[in-house]
Structure 1
Amino acid sequence: MTTLDQQAGVVRPFTVQISDEALDDLRRRLTATRWPSRELADDRKQGVQLATLQALRQYWATDYDGRRVESRLNALPQFTTEIDGVDIHFVHVRSPHEDALPLIMTHGWPGSVIEMLDSVGPLTDPTAHGGTAADAFHLVLPSLPGYGFSAEPTETGWDLARTARAWAELMRRLGYDRYVAQGGDVGAGVTDAIGRIGPDGLVGIHTNLLVPALNDPAALPNDGDAERAALAAIKTFQSTGNGYFVEMATRPQTIGYALLDSPAALAAWMIDHDTDAYYKIASAFVDDKPSGNLTRDHILDNVTAYWLTGTAASAARSYWEAYGADAPTAGSPPLPDPRVPVGFSAFPGEIWVTPRSWAEASYPTLNYFGQAARGGHFAAWEEPELFAAELRAAFRSLR
């Protein structure tokens, strides 16, 4: 690692500070929640079920420690630095193993750096988690612009490619001249973009959501059972499960008013993401049966971070920037294929299970394809040890 280049931009230590007044206001609003009548379907066809959200609200208002966000983040080294006019918040944990490979890892929506915290140990200190020193990473976890403790952009144009370029600048600013990148959900889009841009120093990428499949699934192979099942799952999601996606990609400001005014509405919006994740979250709150690391406290850490930072609207606008018809870069020429090696991991609870043929067709430089035994869309959050093992395998040949 080279010396920090202070001329390029100041990197400042950061500490989360939550006021008592903010926590008191949260509890007051939770207590005053106005409830709709019960849904008329016996599953999630009409959205988040009343029993699920009432159980979540009850635990949040009476049992949850509102200072968990503060204490969990402050237990790790945090920093901010201004890049392209936006103050970017990031967690930066250097491995105790000096030859560790630098890794920048990007969260998505409705996630945050919170969803990655339990993967920090396995990634930075693998010898304590079943790996070897040769598997270690120096880890950089930035908060997307407009998410969490990063500042909100004050102009349009922060699409996936602009964020990817900001990440390349962040790694350069930290002195990392050789590194890899990883992401899921929106973070997969950022990681896909940084791989296609190919900044100096980037030697490989890994994702656990196949971005090209969302862009044009019909262009991918469809002559096998796995391919047909994946295509059917995407069609089901696009016809019955992507209401949040359409709203945020077209009218993020409209939904933002409700999400900033009611914590219960914010929680409902955030947990209504995909079928697998929804039922796992519902089970955690209604039956106290978490799936892996998706416990009630861990789920509420993430929702609480959105509430306390007031970033639900600005996070929603990131979908307009990246996917909306009126986005600043809509219609721009596509970026080229990645020139660096690409790794991909398929998790069984994902919105669709990506076949190897799709990953190969999407990425000519694919050099790793893994199939995990457990986990879903929020793989790092739900199964941090399994997720870390996938990243070790994916990047092992690039060390």
Structure 2
Amino acid sequence: MFGLNTGFGFNSESDLSLSRRQLMQAAALVGVALAPLPSFGASASDTELVPFKINVPQADLDDLKLRLARTRWPERETVSDASQGAQLDKIKALVEYWRTAYDWRRLEARLNGYPQFKTEIDGLGIHFLHIRSKHEDALPLIMTHGWPGSIVEFLEVIEPLTDPAAHGGKAEDAFHVVLPSIPGHGFSDKPAEKGWNRTRIAHAWNTLMHRLGYDSYVAQGGDWGSVITTEMGLLRVNGLRAMHVNLPFVFPNPFRPIRHQKNRSRSIR
């Protein structure tokens, strides 16, 4: 498995002569040398993929607008800048836009314009978008959103990823895109028990990709999605060939402080 982080350091497209496709192919060769751990959860034959459409009841939208209209506001901050936090005038303007101008149905229709599904993994219903490229040899890619966040974060990149030729890129750089909603987010089920941590979600995402028929794929994540994607790499889940995160997490060597403490003690003596 090959990891790439463009949050710091080099940029994969400006500093390397490889295309995205070539880079991932090279990563796959590295991944072959690594012995993967077994996949987790039910097999593809155990659980079906159920087509899904979003249809929020109008009563829920009306109730939201009513609650926004009844907001009890605190007193205004005592300064003219944002040093005491979000400014009351700006929050009021935001809520007023949300109540009177924001068009949920427009976003709902946009989301419903893409193939959506739910499938049960490890006892939980997982909602996801699955947009296949028209290029059959496209590379499967699973992308994980952050917290607080949702798959809406990725709507602007779906077309460039699935059809790069239409956006100034090359057909060989196309991806089949899978966008799951983290448990408890969007339209995925909310866990009723403890334990749905990054490790469990990482295994669930691997199960999802195999259930979709992708035996070899790559992963990307940002914010909390970076944590989940990094965990997939650390676990070396079966089939993952490369990963990219835009929020790197670096953990210190637990033994290094002890060694430094010993050196410090010797220097004092």
Amino acid at match of 2:219: A
Amino acid at match of 1:71: A
Matched residue of 2:148: which SS? Answer: coil
Aligned with residue 161 of structure 1, among 186, 191, 199: 199
Shift of 1:217: 11
Aligned mates of 1:27, 1:114 — CA distance in 2 = 21
Aligned mates of 1:218, 1:45 — CA distance in 2 = 37
Superposed CA deviations along residues 254-274 of structure 1, whole A, max 9, x for unmatched, are xxxxxxxxxxxxxxxxxxxxx
Q: Which residue of 2 aligns with 1:113?
A: 151
TM-score, normalised to structure 1, is 0.52
Please list every run of 5 or more consecutive structure 1 residues that lacks an aligned counterpart in the other structure: 221-399
Contact 1:179 1:201 in 2 (8 A): yes
Contact 2:69 2:99 in 1 (8 A): yes
Contact 1:181 1:205 in 2 (8 A): yes
Aligned with residue 239 of structure 2, among 190, 201, 226: 201
Shift of 1:216: 4.5
Q: Which residue of 1 aligns with 2:91?
A: 53
Across the two proteins, how many residue pairs are aligned to each other? 214
Shift of 1:69: 3.1
Whether 1:15 aligns to 2:49 is no
1:266-281 correspondence to structure 2 within 5 Å = none
Matched residue of 2:149: which SS? Answer: coil
1:175-254 correspondence to structure 2 within 5 Å = 175-212=213-250, 215-216=251-252
Please list every run of 5 or more consecutive structure 2 residues that lacks an aligned counterpart in the other structure: 1-42, 257-269
The worse-fitting range, judged by mean Cα deviation, of 102-111 and 43-52 is: 43-52
Aligned mates of 1:48, 1:144 — CA distance in 2 = 28
Aligned mates of 1:128, 1:192 — CA distance in 2 = 31
Distance 1:167 1:119, change over 3 A: same
Aligned with residue 188 of structure 2, among 150, 159, 174: 150
Superposed CA deviations along residues 335-388 of structure 1, whole A, max 9, x for unmatched, are xxxxxxxxxxxxxxxxxxxxxxxxxxxxxxxxxxxxxxxxxxxxxxxxxxxxxx
Matched residue of 1:154: which SS? Answer: coil
Superposed CA deviations along residues 129-187 of structure 1, whole A, max 9, x for unmatched, are 11110110000000000101000111101111110000000001000011000000000
Matched residue of 2:104: which SS? Answer: coil
Q: Which residue of 2 aligns with 1:139?
A: 177
Contact 2:44 2:210 in 1 (8 A): no
Contact 2:141 2:175 in 1 (8 A): yes
Amino acid at match of 2:159: G
Shift of 1:49: 1.4
Distance 1:171 1:46, change over 3 A: same
1:1-399 correspondence to structure 2 within 5 Å = 6-212=44-250, 215-216=251-252
Shift of 1:219: 11
Amino acid at match of 1:211: F
Superposed CA deviations along residues 21-78 of structure 1, whole A, max 9, x for unmatched, are 0111111111111111122344433322112211111111111112123212101000
Contact 1:160 1:190 in 2 (8 A): yes
Contact 1:39 1:46 in 2 (8 A): yes
Distance 1:22 1:219, change over 3 A: farther
Contact 1:43 1:49 in 2 (8 A): yes
Matched residue of 1:22: which SS? Answer: helix
Aligned mates of 2:217, 2:227 — CA distance in 1 = 18
Rg larger for: 2
Aligned mates of 1:73, 1:48 — CA distance in 2 = 30
Q: Which residue of 2 aligns with 1:357?
A: none
Distance 1:155 1:133, change over 3 A: same
Amino acid at match of 1:138: H
Aligned mates of 1:163, 1:98 — CA distance in 2 = 28
Amino acid at match of 2:229: T
Q: Which has the bigger relative contact order, CA under 8 A and spacing at least 6?
A: 2
Aligned mates of 2:104, 2:131 — CA distance in 1 = 24
Contact 2:114 2:131 in 1 (8 A): yes
Distance 1:20 1:193, change over 3 A: same
TM-score, normalised to structure 2, is 0.76
Aligned mates of 1:43, 1:121 — CA distance in 2 = 40
